[in-house]
Amino acid sequence: MSREDAVARAERYFTSGGFKADLARLVAMPTESQNPERADTLVTYIEREMRPLLEGLGFTCRTLSHKAAKGPFLYAERIEDPSLPTVLGYGHGDVIRGLDKDWNEGLSPWTLTEVGDRWYGRGVVDNKGQHIINVEALRAVLETRGKLGFNAKYLIEMGEEMGSPGLRDLCAEQKDLLKADMLIASDGPRLNAERPTIFLGSRGGVTFDMTIDAREGGHHSGNWGGILSDPAIQLAHAISTIVSPTGQIRIHEWVPKELPASVRRVLADCEIDGGPDGPTIDRNWGEPGLSPAEQVFGWCSFDVLAMKAGNPETPVNAVPPKAWARCQLRFVVGIDPDEVLPALRRHLDRHSFPMVQIAKSRDEIFHATRLDPDDPWVTWAVNSLAKTTGKKPALLPNLGGSLPNDIFSEVLGLRTIWVPHSYPGCSQHAPNEHLPVAIAREGLQVMAGLYWDLGSGDTPAL
């Protein structure tokens, strides 16, 4: 039996309808981790679906918990020979809220629906579809070769959409249990729908609030306008000092000193394309002199996620007493997350905005991570995907978004290689989340090839 046989077996699972049926069953489980009423469903996903699936592949499973977590963790391992490489897989079974009423007519977040060349449903890409692709690719290799040829461990969490509470502490406490040589996992989007992609880490993220609380209650704008400070105007001016009118960040502690040569080299081959449903890139926005790919994958970005002053739904003729903005900095390796808010405080004070209060939001701070693009295991993985697809894979130094990769790279000390099975226009976290059928098929193929190559013995030295 050969590599081609393993890839073909994975494809047969897809063409037979097996993958679609399995994914439909998982989508039907409303595993909304932000909804306390779904707590039992989070447990059911692990115990009724994932545990039997992995045990059927010869994995030994156990449920883990941590007091800081909002849901359970499933740990599974299949140790064939301690001398062989060990790979840790990861996925999350929880999903963002369904937003049932906002989906297009005929669609439901909890029913897998095929429309054209897409499958719609909550979790089809984030992340149920992605980790099921990987587990079934392991099955294809196992049934073809009779063994994996490497040791496999898997961790599935049920709280990623809440910022992975407890995951860091769990990994620190279970470091020996989770010991491995590398992480191979799937989440996030490809560079575009047509091009297989590998990314090596993620941008970090800090979300915070900026508030001006001037006084109690609003006051008539005719009687008091012009002699009372307007918090909305002040806050708008404060934000304008953080970025230029074209989005260039003006706080030097918030941007890297330079774009590393290895990062610039791999991104020179990458063009961002959200597909026909994606937005048009604003070429004059952000850091001057950088390509769109360099902006998203090699640099930092600041955005105002929401703002409020007065009563937007029913405006009244009053000077508002308060203004608020929820802001976010996405940052790359080289930025100290603990210095982000102190640097902002110094900046605002220098610009005469001491009245602006700053507070970190409840969201978890994700640290920026990036495996060296020149690492020999990266070259190995890129070559594997190219062999399976006949395409040149895109290599991204890190995902533009944030995920808990720093836990795997820093706490567990692993190389991290991510192979996403989605695309930028998938409506992840929004109504009408969908998975292109072609990506699901190709995802099963590339992961079967990758796992086959991992067990072939022809891999870089660890």
Q: What is the pLDDT of residues 89-110, one digit of tens each?
A: 999 999 999 999 999 999 999 9
- Rg, Å, the chain Cα set: 24
Separation in Å, CA 194 to CA 181, 191, 424: 30, 8, 11
Q: How confident is the model at residue 181 (pLDDT cuts 50, 70, 90)?
A: very high
Q: How far apart are the first and last CA of the chain?
A: 27
Write down the pLDDT at residue 294.
97
Write down the pLDDT at residue 276.
79
Query: Is the pLDDT at 274 greater than 80, yes or no?
Result: no
Write down the pLDDT at residue 382.
98
Distance in angstroms (rounded) separating the CA atoms of residues 347 and 242: 8
Find all residues with CB under 8 Å of 398, minimum gap 6, and list them: 199, 200, 201, 202, 203, 297, 332, 333, 368, 369, 370
CA dihedral 423→117→388→377, nearest 10 degrees, is: 20
Query: Is the pLDDT at 279 greater than 90, yes or no?
Result: no
Write down the pLDDT at residue 73.
98
In one letter, which amino acid is 429?
A: H
Residues 140-151, mean pLDDT to the nearest whole number: 98
User: Could you tell me which residues are beta bridge partners of residue 32?
Assistant: 95
Write down the pLDDT at residue 186.
98
Separation in Å, CA 264 to CA 57, 259, 284, 296: 41, 6, 19, 12
Residues 262-287, mean pLDDT to the nearest whole number: 90
Write down the pLDDT at residue 293.
96
Write down the pLDDT at residue 273.
80
Distance in angstroms (rounded) separating the CA atoms of residues 186 and 127: 8
Its CATH architecture, for the domain 204-256+300-360, is 2-Layer Sandwich (3.30)
Find all residues with CB under 8 Å of 381, minimum gap 6, and list them: 184, 198, 417, 419, 450
Residue 345 gets the label, from left (phi > 0), alpha (psi -120 to 50) or beta, of alpha
In one letter, which amino acid is 33?
A: S
Domain boundaries, the chain: 3-201+367-454, 204-256+300-360
Distance in angstroms (rounded) separating the CA atoms of residues 407 and 175: 11
Burial class from Cβ neighbours inside 10 Å (0-12, 13-18, 19+) for residue 190 reads: buried
CB atoms within 10 A of CB 427: 16
Residues 27-53, mean pLDDT to the nearest whole number: 97
pLDDT, tens digit, 9 for 90 and up, residues 14-33: 999 999 999 999 999 999 99
Buried b / exposed e along 68-86 (16+ C-beta atoms within 10 A) = ebbbbbbbbbbeeeeebbb
What's the CATH class of domain 3-201+367-454? alpha beta
* pTM (2 d.p.): 0.92
Q: How confident is the model at residue 380 (pLDDT cuts 50, 70, 90)?
A: very high
Query: Is the pLDDT at 39 greater than 90, yes or no?
Result: yes
pLDDT, tens digit, 9 for 90 and up, residues 335-344: 999 999 999 9
Query: Is the pLDDT at 217 greater than 80, yes or no?
Result: yes
pLDDT, tens digit, 9 for 90 and up, residues 386-436: 999 999 999 999 999 888 999 999 999 999 999 999 999 999 999 999 999
Burial class from Cβ neighbours inside 10 Å (0-12, 13-18, 19+) for residue 361 reads: middle
Find all residues with CB under 8 Å of 68, minimum gap 6, and list them: 165, 166, 169
